[in-house]
Amino acid sequence: MPVTFTKSALLLSLMLGLGQAQATSQQSPTALATTSGIPHPAVIAHRGASFDAPESTAAAYKLARDLGADYLEMDLQRSKDGVLFALHDNNLQRTTDVATKFPERKDSPANAFTIAELKTLDAGSWFNTAHPDRARPAYAGLKILTLDEIIDIAQGNPLHKPGLYIETKEPKQFPGIERDLKDKLQDRGWLSPVGSTLAKNELTVGQGKGKVILQTFEKSSLELLQKEMPQVPKILLLWVGEGSIEPKSKVTFAESGDKDKATYYAKQEPKDKAEFEQWVDYAKAQGAIGTGPSAALATGGDQSYSDLVKPWMNQYTHDKGMLVHVYTIDDAADYKKVMDAGVDGIFTNRASELLKYYKRPAAGSVAQLLEVNGF
Ligand code: G3P
Ligand code: CA
């Protein structure tokens, strides 16, 4: 056999082999989600069913679970005495009565309080004041929840067990929280290997391979999460601004003259295509299974940010063999827009509405399920 032929054959087989390797590493989003045990598209209940009940409380998480949400989303913090708990804001002012119970410490970060102190706070009454149309007497006095308690809720409905979608919130304030989280999940059996991928129409995400998804905006936390829990799916959250994607314009909100932040953010975009792509590339290189980009909402509001789910962006992420879970969307028009743009799941405060949009029946109405749970 002539040497030249052998070289050609070798080259050809290498090219074919490379093609195969690329094909297997770049599964379709549906295949990637399915083999990872992640519903597609995924319903991620943002701070629980937080449109209908006070965010991050038992009422919100039980409602999201019983509606049939795939994941209970939470922002993880650590108390002064080392207990992991869920709270979005850095301090307690917006969602509790800290100003009444601890007036001299009302501006302190939540992590300056012990869990016993946090447990004295009323984390529900603010909702009744802010949303009288959705108020319920039983919301008054609801407590801040520990991660343990949220796990109990996730496991508490024999008919539907959602997964946990856990964000390390401001992780630089909590050195070692990634390790603490691993220890807690391990203790509770949430890191044990499970064989099953998600069967079609199966709603038991909390019992399969994708039962925990870890999320963070912080590169350093992503790296630590990957070190501690390499087998657990991870999402790098994205937005345009400090600490994340560099904006094209350096004009600040104060300088912009815009009437509100949503208007300002809607005009923000990545410095250039390469800047967006390098964040996706970074996430991939650090072992993330996907990204969690922001969206600009049709009606604005305080959860409307830069549009990072443009079709080319989602395509780029999919071409890397990664998923896109967009935050935080509550209206049908926006659900349609982002689904048409190609996202693989949605963080929503209104799990009931998103389930309806996906034509997935809930076990009951919001009012019925709240009442069943004593709210
Ligand atoms: O975790 C996704 C989304 O929740 C990010 O925004 O500020 O609500 O945690 P935030
Ligand atoms: Ca979050």
Residue-wise pLDDT tens digits, 19-65:
444 444 578 999 999 999 999 999 999 999 999 999 999 999 999 99
- 7 part of a folded domain: no
- Closest ligand 1 atom, residue 75 Cα: 9
| Digit-coded pLDDT (tens) for 243-291 | 999 999 999 999 999 999 999 999 999 999 999 999 999 999 999 999 9
pLDDT of residue 119: 98
% of the chain beyond a pLDDT of 70: 91
Q: Whose CA is nearest to atom 10 of ligand 1?
A: 88
Tokens (6 digits) for 184: 């807690």
pLDDT at 239: 96
- For the Cβ of 264 lying below 6 angstroms from any atom of ligand 1, the answer is no
Ligand 1 centroid distance, CA of 9 (Å) = 52
Domains held by the chain: number: 1
Find where tokens 């770049």 sit: 26
pLDDT in tens, 305-339: 999 999 999 999 999 999 999 999 999 999 999 99
Q: Which ligand is nearest to the CA of 291?
A: 1
Asked if residue 126 lies in contact with residue 94, where contact means CB atoms within 8 angstroms, the answer is: yes
Domain of 95 in residue numbering reads as: 28-372
Judge whether 18 lies within some domain. Answer: no
Q: Which ligand is nearest to the CA of 90?
A: 1
CA of 75 to the centre of ligand 2 (A): 5
Report if residue 67 sits inside a domain.
yes
Q: Flag whether 324 is in a domain.
A: yes
pLDDT at 25: 55
- On the question of pLDDT at 349 being above 80, the answer is yes
Q: Give the Å distance between the CA of 198 and the centre of ligand 2.
A: 24
At residue 2, does pLDDT exceed 80? no
Identify the pLDDT of residue 22: 45
Q: Which of 89, 127, 128, 81 is nearest to 106 (CA)?
A: 89
| Domain CATH code at residue 345 | 3.20.20.190
Say if residue 131 is exposed, middle or buried (CB neighbours under 10 Å; 0-12, 13-18, 19+).
middle
pLDDT at 26: 76
Q: Is residue 20 part of a domain?
A: no
Our mutation pick for probing the ligand 1 site, out of 47, 51, 75, 166, counting the most ligand atoms within 8 A of Cβ, is 75
Is the pLDDT at 12 greater than 80? The verdict is no
- Tens digits of residue pLDDT in 195-217: 655 555 454 799 889 999 999 99
Ligand 1 atom index nearest CA of 328? 3
Assigned domain for 66 exists: yes
What is the rounded average pLDDT for all residues in the chain?
A: 92
Q: Which atom of ligand 1 is nearest to the CA of 88?
A: 9
Can you tell me the distance from the alpha carbon of 136 to that of 191, in angstroms, rounded to the nearest whole number? 36
∠ CA(364), CA(366), CA(368), 5° rounding?
Answer: 60
* Residue linked to tokens 């919001």: 366
347 close to ligand 1 (CB < 6 Angstrom)? yes
Average pLDDT over residues 332-348: 98
Cβ of 71 closer than 6 Å to ligand 1, yes or no, is no
